[in-house]
Amino acid sequence: MAEPREELGKKLTGYLTPEQISKLIDEVLAIRKRMSAEFQCKSCGKRQMQWTEVPDAKAVAGALADLMNQAFGRPGETTDSVEPVLFKRLTRLSRDEMPKSA
């Protein structure tokens, strides 16, 4: 049985046109969030609050990482074999406890 990611990749190959992929990337790079911003009124000088939209760098970075992981796999996933980690116990003996040579 094939890995689900490979199967999904085969089915999606050719599904999106280059224009759609370009549009997807443009939309990801344009992710914005709505937040409040404080300012001072020019006429009365009082502090006021207004809602505004700002770029959401954290969401953009997360979305790009997800897209790259889906397209290329996570870093380190390409290796098929993983070498085992070996632990060796070392014991240090004092001079008094060292065995006598024959």
Structure confidence by residue, pLDDT tens digits, 54-64: 999 999 888 88
Question: 36-93: per-residue pLDDT in tens?
Answer: 999 999 999 899 999 999 999 999 888 888 888 877 777 765 556 677 888 888 777 7
Q: In the prediction, which pLDDT does 22 show?
A: 84
DSSP 32-99: EEEEEEEEE-TTT--EEEEEEEEE-HHHHHHHHHHHHHHHH--TTTT-S--PPP------PPPGGGSP
Establish how many alpha carbons lie within 13 A of residue 56's alpha carbon, considering only the half-sphere containing its beta carbon.
15
Domain ranges of the chain: 9-74
Q: In the prediction, which pLDDT does 96 show?
A: 66
Q: In the prediction, which pLDDT does 67 show?
A: 81
Q: Does the predicted TM-score (pTM) go above 0.75?
A: no
